[in-house]
């Protein structure tokens, strides 16, 4: 169940419904680095800078912890964009957490989150305040049939999706378990890195997008980073359309 902005959802769904999340059966989401950049480029998507909530400084020698986004900022930008508040908070916190030299905007993460799972709300799900969808989100089995890759499950990976034979992409940002082993992150400071938790998945996605050092302030760098997340030009196009819509509505 998507929160508010029916007008935003209708506009995006019309253009992106065929590739959104679990419907994008050709997806090889967060699987491996591509050898070639996308064939078409897009302009950099500028995002409003998230406002941090005022917090007391951490005691000397203690970890700083995860960024805390101003709740008023989250509420205002959720209202304007149509993205559920837990998702806005997750994407904004991830932007604040990564090296600012990466220039990754939260609207890019929101574009990915929309295409992958409609911010955890695909199929009538509800995204809770803790970043978890009301029902588990799994991609199709990666069994090599059709356009999907063939990725055998391991005992460790099947623990995430329950299929002892084939892997599935997991959670609202659709991580392959083997990739989660490398990029799994604790985005909300609860001591766990869980791809089913949008706070964690958003930070992992941000780290992944920034890892290759692409200049995300350029169309070429932005598109190459998103193409690395999912190796399809139609995917890059869909993420750009969604991210641009969110940026336009919140600037």
The confidence band for 231, taking pLDDT boundaries of 50, 70 and 90, is confident
Whether the CB-CB separation of 203 and 59 falls below 8 Å is answered with no
Mean pLDDT lowest among 29-43, 67-81, 144-158:
29-43
Q: What is the mean pLDDT of the chain?
A: 81
Domain boundaries of the chain, sorted by first residue = 6-52+68-250
**How far apart (Å, rounded) are the C-alpha atoms in residues 109 and 45?**
11
Residue 52 pLDDT > 90: no
Tokens of 137: 């989100």
Residue 226 pLDDT > 70: yes
pTM: 0.80
State how far the alpha carbon of 195 is from the alpha carbons of 54, 145, 146, 174, in Å: 28, 24, 25, 8
Lookup result for tokens 């958003």? 202
E strand or H helix at 223, and its extent? helix 219-229
| pLDDT on residue 169 | 95
| pLDDT on residue 15 | 39
| pLDDT on residue 42 | 60
Whether the CB-CB separation of 235 and 19 falls below 8 Å is answered with yes
pLDDT tens track for 60-76: 443 346 788 999 999 99
| pLDDT on residue 20 | 39
| pLDDT on residue 146 | 81
| pLDDT on residue 123 | 94
């Amino acid at each position: 169940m998507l929160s508010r902005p029916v007008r935003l959802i209708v506009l995006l769904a019309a253009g992106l419904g065929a590739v959104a999340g679990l419907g994008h059966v050709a997806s090889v989401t967060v699987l491996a680095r591509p050898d070639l950049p996308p064939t078409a480029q897009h302009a950099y998507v500028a995002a409003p800078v998230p406002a941090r909530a005022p917090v007391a400084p951490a005691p000397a020698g203690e970890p700083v912890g995860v960024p805390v986004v101003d709740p008023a900022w989250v509420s205002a930008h959720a209202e304007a964009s149509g993205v559920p508040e837990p998702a806005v908070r997750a994407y904004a916190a991830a932007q604040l957490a990564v090296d600012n030299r990466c220039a990754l905007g939260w609207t890019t993460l929101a574009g990915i989150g929309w295409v992958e799972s409609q911010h955890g709300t695909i199929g009538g799900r509800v995204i809770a305040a803790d970043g978890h969808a009301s029902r588990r989100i799994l991609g199709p089995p990666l069994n090599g049939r059709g356009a999907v890759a063939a990725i055998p499950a391991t005992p460790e990976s099947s623990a995430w999706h329950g299929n002892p034979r084939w892997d599935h992409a997991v959670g609202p940002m659709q991580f392959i378990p083997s990739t989660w082993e490398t990029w799994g992150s604790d985005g909300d400071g609860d001591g766990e890195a869980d791809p089913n938790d949008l706070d964690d998945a958003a930070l992992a996605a941000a780290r992944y997008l920034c890892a290759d050092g692409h200049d995300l302030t350029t169309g070429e760098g932005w598109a190459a980073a998103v193409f690395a997340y999912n190796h399809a030009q139609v995917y890059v196009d869909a993420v750009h359309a969604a991210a641009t819509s969110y940026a336009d509505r919140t600037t």
